[in-house]
Amino acid sequence: AILIMILKAADISNVIKPFEISRRWACRVNEEFYFQGDQEVNKLGEVSNEMFDRNSGKEMAEGQIGFIRFFAKPFFELVKDVLPPLSYFYEQLCENEGDWEQILVMREKTKSRLMNRNSVGLSTDESHNKPSADST
Q: What is the pLDDT of residues 33-89, one digit of tens each?
A: 999 999 999 999 999 988 899 998 888 999 999 999 999 999 999 999 999 999 999
Residue length of the chain: 136
For CA atoms 22, 28, 33, 37, the dihedral sign is positive
Helix spans in 68-86 (H): 73-82
pTM assigned to the model: 0.78
The answer to whether the CB of 95 falls within 8 A of the CB of 19 is yes
Give 28 or 125, the one with higher predicted confidence.
28
For CA atoms 55, 26, 69, 112, the dihedral sign is negative
Q: What is the pLDDT of residues 91-112, one digit of tens each?
A: 999 999 999 999 999 988 888 8
CA–CA gap between residue 27 and residue 115 (Å, rounded) = 27
Give 120 or 64, the one with higher predicted confidence.
64
Tell me what pLDDT residue 120 has. 66
Give 116 or 89, the one with higher predicted confidence.
89
Q: Phi and psi for 54 in degrees, rounded to 5?
A: -70, -15
